[in-house]
Amino acid sequence: KAGVTQTPRYLIKTRGQQVTLSCSPISGHRSVSWYQQTPGQGLQFLFEYFSETQRNKGNFPGRFSGRQFSNSRSEMNVSTLELGDSALYLCASSSPGQGAYEQYFGPGTRLTVT
Amino acid sequence: LAKTTQPISMDSYEGQEVNITCSHNNIATNDYITWYQQFPSQGPRFIIQGYKTKVTNEVASLFIPADRKSSTLSLPRVSLSDTAVYYCLVLSNTGFQKLVFGTGTRLLVSP
């Protein structure tokens, strides 16, 4: 099975711009979640989508939004970029297993805001 | 989410077995112990998950005593490429949960 893929892998943007990141989950996985990872804050949960609906949300401002398509692919959008948005953005797909949800991460998109 | 405690760092040599212990005193009945591995600038990689006794896969083994208040991730015959940060998480099986990674254990494997 192919893993989680994220595009683009690297991105450089300027303050005030907006950016869209894409994530394709593992085939058959319907839940897609997004995380932001920075050296200072560690890995922080942004939101989770399941069957095209946002099911869980973290504590991020409204500039961060997402959506999920009928094929489970997901996009994350950040508007009015700030320098502090520079981070590794990770997407994870998951499915219920015999135990707790097993979340599988993609390689991430490294966003640099200048 | 049950709080977990694990060593900040560990050193090992190639070919040795590495055991990383995680303490989770407040684990609940519905909780599963889950381990992730992360290399710099990459997404965390799911390694193994277990509920009790022993779980083994092609990468590692997970030992969980009867009281489930701790667990041990065992990596057999480590290589240089096993140098990474290892995270222990306790997750409920009641539905999706956001992952909250602590500081993890930084494993350094030397030649």
Query: What residues contact residue A30 under an 8 Å CB cut-off, 6+ apart?
Result: A50, A51, A72, A95
CA–CA dist A9, B78 (Å, integer): 29
Q: What is the mean pLDDT of each run of 10 residues along chain A (114 residues)?
A: 92 98 95 92 91 93 97 97 97 82 92 97
Residue for token pair 């839940």: A31
- In chain A, residues with a C-beta closer than 8 Å to the C-beta of B46 are 102-105
pLDDT in tens, B1-32: 668 999 999 999 999 999 999 999 999 998 99
Q: Kindly provide the b/e burial profile for residues B78-88, where b requires at least 16 CB atoms within 10 angstroms of the residue's own CB.
A: beeebbbbbbb
Look at the block and give the residue holding tokens 């005193």: B25
Check residue A1 and give its pLDDT: 67
B81 three-class SS:
helix
| Residues B27-80: tens digit of each pLDDT | 999 899 999 999 988 899 999 999 999 999 999 999 999 999 999 999 999 999
Residue entry with tokens 């940060």: B85
> Looking at beta carbons, which residues of chain A come within 8 Å of B50?
99
C-alpha–C-alpha distance, residues A4 and B62, integer Å = 25
Average pLDDT, chain B: 93
Q: Is B59 an interface residue toward A (CB < 8 Å)?
A: no
Reported as a single tens digit per residue, the pLDDT across A43-58 is: 899 999 999 999 999 9
CB A76 within 8 A of CB A64: yes
CA–CA separation, A68 vs A23, rounded Å? 9
Return the number of CB contacts < 8 Å for A and B.
67
Q: Least CB-CB distance to B43: which of A42, A90, A99?
A: A90
- The chain B residue lying nearest A30, using CA atoms, is B96
Using CB atoms, pick whichever of B34, B42, B100 lies closest to residue A100. B34
